[in-house]
Amino acid sequence: DAGVTQSPTHLIKTRGQQVTLRCSPKSGHDTVSWYQQALGQGPQFIFQYYEEEERQRGNFPDRFSGHQFPNYSSELNVNALLLGDSALYLCASTDGAVGPFYGYTFGSGTRLTVV
């Protein structure tokens, strides 16, 4: 049973460009959350998707957007990249019905470097 799969593992972009990160949740999970982890810090919540809709959003600008597909996979899009967007982006999935009680399963992340 595959866990959470994220692609790509590493990415280098130039300031001002746009990037799309992808996430396939663990089998049986229907809820996907995205986190940004800057170097030396804890993960910060970006947003969560359930039933193809954004349910809640953290304190991130509109440059950060996402999408969830019918198969529950998800994308994170970041427009007009800034140097400060360089971070490890983590995807986490859970079963929406029981997730609160069992936590989330995390992927290994996508390391984004903006130059």
Partner 1 sequence: AQSVTQLDSHVSVSEGTPVLLRCNYSSSYSPSLFWYVQHPNKGLQLLLKYTSAATLVKGINGFEAEFKKSETSFHLTKPSAHMSDAAEYFCVVRILNNNNDMRFGAGTRLTVKP
* Given 29, 104, 112, 114, the residue binding partner 1 (CB under 8 A): 104
Does residue 102 bind partner 1 (CB under 8 A)? yes
Q: How far is the CB of 16 from partner 1 (least distance, A)?
A: 27
Site residues for partner 1, 39-98, by CB under 8 A, read 41-45, 48, 50, 55-56, 58, 90, 92
Cβ contact 35:89 at 8 Å: yes
Does residue 107 bind partner 1 (CB under 8 A)? yes
Sign, Cα dihedral of 78, 79, 81, 84: negative
Cα 3 from Cα 11, distance rounded (Å)? 21
Helices marked H in the chain? 99-102
Cβ contact 76:60 at 8 Å: no
Does residue 99 bind partner 1 (CB under 8 A)? yes
Contacting positions for partner 1 (CB under 8 A): 4, 33, 35, 41-45, 48, 50, 55-56, 58, 90, 92, 99-109
